[in-house]
Amino acid sequence: MKKFINAPESYVDDMLTGLVMAHPDIVRKGKHGRTLARRDGVSKGRVGIATGGGAGHLPLFAGYLGDGFADSCAVGNVFEGPNLQSCVDAINLADGGSGVLLLYGNYGGDRMNFDMASRLAAANDIETVLATDDIASASREEISKRRGVAGIVFAYKAAGAAAKAGASLKDVAEIARRTVARTRTIGLGMKGCRLPGATGEVFELGDDEVELGLGIHGEPGLWRKPMASANVLVDEMISRLLEERPDETDSSRLAVMVNGLGATPLEELYIAYQRAGKVLAEQGLHVVMPMVGPFATSMEMAGLSITLCFLTDELEKLLAAQANCPFWRVQ
């Protein structure tokens, strides 16, 4: 498999250089240049939001910095958590004097380094919220063990809107937690990806196989079966997501994200969305925010994920609030 790179060891740094050149509102900072931040920084007195994660998932994590979104991001090697120093730098760069929310995915390496960084950073007041939207990664009874995947984008947006409006750290963190609690994602893989410099794919599927529930690093899913029609596959994905509807949810209004994992054509994502929208409408649910495109990828993995965010009036307003971010697109 060919990759458009200079060398495996320069992959992440070459990518980050290009990213900030293309989006000059974002700059590289920190001791190792592995921390990104908003060029205009965090205004004094506003709560800051720091995030981080491994490369290989653009636009996640580094692509969601901007006005009304996150303020800094620590970037690790491909599919690896960011190093400790980058996490410290991300926290310090997000500190405007009113505290910092750490909002990132529920992965062991990320947790370890951000936990250590929170004790070493200059910020005096830090709250942590972990995204846990991947329903296939643990049972409902062990929801705290679930991974964070594409649904974290909704948490970025809601928390970022609250911080922009001047909410306290406690309130910004609580909004992020409520958003995470109302967000559910499941993925479907059709072909694996290969890391720069690797000789084989992270995982392999047969030519006629699909895997439901796999993670964005190729973590094992719920089942492998022969390929079926888009309608059949989407029906099961939506059914499993609705079975996970939060207990306290009484709203019929949804934000729906159909996310491409890297190699699936946009046309096929819209085929998935048309079926998802039809099935949800038949269940009496109303999609008020449809999102279709690559929001959280996995290199050149073929497949998609579907995320449902069960809205409240407050959350709907936060998601609709004006914001400016290179990769936030709403139909």
The residues assigned a catalytic role are 57, 217
Strands (E), 24-173: 26-29, 35-38, 48-55, 72-78, 100-105, 126-131
Crossing angle (nearest 10°) for helices 108-120 and 84-93: 60
Two structure tokens written together for 52: 């981080």
Strands (E), 181-327: 183-191, 209-212, 223-226, 253-260, 286-293, 302-310
Cα-Cα-Cα-Cα dihedral sign, residues 63, 64, 67, 70: negative
For residue 212, give the 3-state DSSP assignment: strand
Closest CA to 188 of 57, 309, 301, 308: 301
Two structure tokens written together for 314: 């407050």
CA distance 330 to 73: 22
Residue 254's beta-bridge partner residues?
A: 287, 310
CB 37 within 8 A of CB 65: yes
